[in-house]
Amino acid sequence: MGGFEFYNTGYEALFCGLISASIAQLIKVITYLYTHKKINFKIFTTTGGMPSSHTAGVIALSTSVALIEGLSSIVFAVSLGFSLVIMQDAAGLRRAAGKTAATLNRLVDEFVQKNQEVKPYAALKELLGHTPLEVFCGMVLGIIIPFIVHNFKISILS
């Protein structure tokens, strides 16, 4: 009585969402280290790339809600609806914005090369969204982590 309850509460769901998104970002840092042979911690705070941390986080939250409240609960339906919107945005609108930024950067670069008197400019961020594969991998990660946390009772509080 009076103890801190973690499992089967919102704390478990929130923890799963945060840890899944963090693991996705850590995977990006490790992948960068492996491919470039140098560490870049800025990758941990950037958007885009494999896997989608946004997707991993929201799907982990939804999966946790399903495990705690059940698939037929209203809160799961709302959570899943929210997750689907985030996933569609990651692969749709944000990806299109990244492609637009890449095109604008290329056009500005060509303009600057032809007109040397133009002042330096800051390039637009191009890696904003995700490919469908990156979203799918984020979804898989977001399903696995809550099952591990919920079923194996892994606790940082023990």
Tens of pLDDT, residues 67-104: 999 999 999 999 999 999 988 888 776 666 667 767 77
**What is the value of pTM for the model shown?**
0.78
Across the range 4-17, mean pLDDT stands at 92
> Domain locations in the chain?
10-92+129-152
Query: CB neighbours of 29 closer than 8 A, spacing ≥ 6?
Result: 39, 40, 41, 43, 44
Chain segment 113-127, per-residue pLDDT in tens: 777 766 666 766 655
If one counts every other C-beta atom within 10 angstroms of the C-beta of residue 56, the result is 30
Alpha helix (H) residue ranges in the chain: 10-36, 53-69, 74-91, 93-114, 132-152
pLDDT in tens, 135-151: 999 999 999 999 999 98
Q: State residue 132 phi and psi, 5-degree precision.
A: -55, -35
Neighbours of 55 (CB within 10 A): 28
Mean pLDDT of 8-13: 94
